[in-house]
Structure 1
Amino acid sequence: MYLIERYIMVATQRLVITIIGFLIFIFASYSTQRYLTDAANGTLALQSVMYIVFYKILIALEMLLPVGLYVSVAVALGQLYNDSEITAVLASGISPFRIYKAIMFLAIPLGILVTLLSMYARPWAYAQIFQLKQQAQSELDVSHLQEKKFNLNDSGRMILSDKINRKNNLLSDVLIYSISGNNTFLFRAHSVQVVNPAIASPAVTLHSGTAYQLDHKGTDDNVQTYKNFNLHPKPMKQSIELRSKSASMAELSRSHDPADIAERQWRESRGIIAILMALLAIPLSRTRPRQGRFATLLPLAVLFVLIFYAGNISRSLVASDIIPSFPGVWTVPLIMLLGFFGLLAHQASLLQKFFR
């Protein structure tokens, strides 16, 4: 490898490691705080928090890695332009395409890694998160419930208990609130015995209390007093969006559902977009003398926002069958490729004027 390429690679690589590490730390801190709040509210078991945070980081890497490389290329090359090092390199007769070559040595392996993460690690992580949440919300495990607190979950169920006997799976002086369809159910019980905590068929027995069924339309309300009442909460169901996100590539390839097609194209395009983002950062990082190394960060930030939202919008439109599946999600990388060639042509014309 030539000296110029190695020099640019080393300068960029250091920033990539620093920025990606910083982004992972910030994301992990935010996710930990969020899910610790859920654990404090009784939504999740405390031991599940670290697992979910790990899976969330694994999912986020398909975005954090390209962003880290994109920013690193912009800052590293901006510094080289600001110190007139690139100007000196070009003035010595070295081809400007060697800068692109140096960045490609970093961008291609990272793009392959992002593709593998998006195709295989991301769906696996989504499946594991759903399993943990299903266990927390469908399994009637009293170990993570808090006494004298409203223990909520994402399905809308709330449990309030004055005392909890964790050894015997017994709750005393209990209020249970849940929603199913067009009805709201409210159960008041002297005690609740968890008969079967399993995810597939959870069951509890309520002793000495009152059950209220409230019809949202107001036509079929009723009240029932009971001594023993057997309750079978419905297991948590996987949403259509989560099903697509956790499906394997083989399942998505066989499916003709627009949501699955959008998900498959999204995964396949992540690595290409990571490489194109790094390449777009090269011409956009060019600064004029005395302009400053951070002068181009605003247009680079605007470009990133446009790419991010355009990708999400195109995926949503394909999933909703509003736009055709071809080119579908690939519209964004195609536009990025055309934009890159446009910037490349513009830079080539500037160089011709420079060397006249």
Structure 2
Amino acid sequence: MGIIDRLLLRDIIKTLAVIVAILALLFFSNALVKYLGRAASGVLSADIVLIVAGLELVKALGQIVPPALFFSVLWVLGRMHRDSEMIALAACGYGTGRIVRAVLITAAPLALLVTVLVMEVLPWSKGYVAQLKAQQSSRIDITGIRPGRFNEFRRGELVVYAERLSDDGTRLDGVFVQDRQHGRTGLVSAASAYQAVDPASGSSFIVLTDGRRTETGEAGLDYRLGRFDEYAIRIPDAELRDWVPPQSARHWRDLLGSEDPGDWAELQYRLSVPLGLLAFAVLAVPLARSPPRSGVYGRLTFAVLLYFTFLNLQKIAERLLAEQAVPAWLGMWWLPALMVVVTGLVVMFDSNRFRVRLRRWLTRRKTA
């Protein structure tokens, strides 16, 4: 690898690191705000907000790297065209082929990384997040109870109302609880409540203090009344034995062995991500061309539109394949091939020979 190759690699990687860091921060901030809101509404435990937000970032990394590399190459090569560095390199025999090779040297390991992310890490993180959400849907966390309103848990089997929440968020005052279990309904009013964990079993409990309990059967004819100093309601662990992972969380080996068109569409969608990375890395080389001393990003708008068109086509192709509207052999492989064709068209339109022929043809049309 020559000196110029190393300089190109260094500039592209530095720019890539900055773009990935910015996009990752945006994704993480957005996920954090979303899950903090869910924790405030009692849907999610406050203890796992950072975990879930971090997993959302891991899920997004496979989608962040391809556009980050594309725009990094555009940035670096566009600046070199503006500063006439490309003209100097071409005069020294460092042509487009050498530039494409240097870009591919950067893109190839990134494509392998993205393949691992979308094939292994992405389904694992999606499955883990889905499991956590399934667990939280059947659990209660006292820090997520909003005072002054009825908070439902376990699909309405447990209803908690509290007048106030202590400043440290560990105790509720003026508590009313309705709990349905084994065909009986219990109504509890208590002065206060807090959450406790049994160190031996690890089970969680809501402990109510200084209150009364009324329990009725299904017919509502038999009553049990009582007073208590402390009364504990066990919070059942989430039952995940029947939990089925979503299609996007299934391992690629499961998708490969499936005959479901939807599974094949999901598998090909994942494979199209690293292939798209390679195609757009090459496409960025001709797109970065601009006249000397002009704007660095003369084609940036076109590049952005092109990439978003590719993303939309990905989703459309995945849906068509899942609905068997296109043959399985065609699948989504035509998308990277289409980007290669677009690259060829851009190179052709940029060539002097094409411009000369186009000018001659237009001249003949005018004189005819």
TM-score (norm 1): 0.77
Cα pair 2:139 2:154 within 8 Å, conserved = no
Specify the code of the residue in structure 2 equivalent to 1:116: V
Specify the code of the residue in structure 2 equivalent to 1:139: R
Cα pair 1:82 1:287 within 8 Å, conserved = yes
Which is further off, 59-68 or 133-142? 133-142
Cα pair 1:36 1:49 within 8 Å, conserved = yes
Q: Which 5+ residue runs of structure 1 have no aligned equivalent?
A: 177-186, 199-206, 212-222
Specify the code of the residue in structure 1 equivalent to 2:308: V
Which is further off, 1-10 or 303-312? 1-10
Cα pair 2:142 2:170 within 8 Å, conserved = no
Q: Which residue of 2 aligns with 1:131?
A: 131
Secondary structure of residue in 1 paired with 2:43: coil
Q: Which residue of 1 aligns with 2:25?
A: 25
Cα pair 1:137 1:236 within 8 Å, conserved = no
1:75 aligns with 2:78: no
Label 1:55 to 1:225 Cα distance change in 2 as closer, same or farther (>3 A).
Answer: farther
Distance 1:53 1:72 in 2: 26
Secondary structure of residue in 1 paired with 2:148: coil
Deviation of 1:210 (Å): 9.6
Label 1:318 to 1:157 Cα distance change in 2 as closer, same or farther (>3 A).
Answer: farther
Q: Which residue of 2 aligns with 1:318?
A: 321
Secondary structure of residue in 2 paired with 1:328: coil
Deviation of 1:343 (Å): 2.8
Q: Which residue of 2 aligns with 1:9?
A: 9
Deviation of 1:67 (Å): 1.3
Label 1:352 to 1:168 Cα distance change in 2 as closer, same or farther (>3 A).
Answer: closer
Q: Which residue of 1 aligns with 2:60?
A: 60
Q: Deviations over 1:1-48 (max 9, x none)?
A: 112212221221110011111110111111111111111111111111
Distance 2:11 2:332 in 1: 33
Which is further off, 7-16 or 342-351? 342-351
Label 1:41 to 1:97 Cα distance change in 2 as closer, same or farther (>3 A).
Answer: same
Cα pair 1:35 1:49 within 8 Å, conserved = yes
Q: Which residue of 2 aligns with 1:270?
A: 273
Specify the code of the residue in structure 2 equivalent to 1:138: S
Larger Rg: 2
**Superposition pairs of residues 1-356 of structure 1, within 5 angstroms:** 1-142=1-142, 144-149=144-149, 151=151, 159-162=159-162, 172-174=175-177, 189-190=187-188, 208=214, 243-347=246-350
Deviation of 1:191 (Å): 5.4
Distance 1:277 1:156 in 2: 50
Distance 2:160 2:131 in 1: 24
Deviation of 1:189 (Å): 4.2
Q: Which residue of 2 aligns with 1:181?
A: none
Distance 1:333 1:15 in 2: 24
Cα pair 2:38 2:44 within 8 Å, conserved = yes
Specify the code of the residue in structure 1 equivalent to 2:295: G
Cα pair 1:115 1:269 within 8 Å, conserved = no
Distance 1:270 1:235 in 2: 35
Cα pair 1:170 1:191 within 8 Å, conserved = no
Distance 1:123 1:95 in 2: 41
TM-score (norm 2): 0.75
Give aligned-pair identity as a percent: 26
Secondary structure of residue in 1 paired with 2:86: helix
Secondary structure of residue in 2 paired with 1:321: coil
Secondary structure of residue in 2 paired with 1:162: strand
Q: Which residue of 1 aligns with 2:363?
A: none
Cα pair 1:43 1:152 within 8 Å, conserved = no
Label 1:171 to 1:48 Cα distance change in 2 as closer, same or farther (>3 A).
Answer: farther
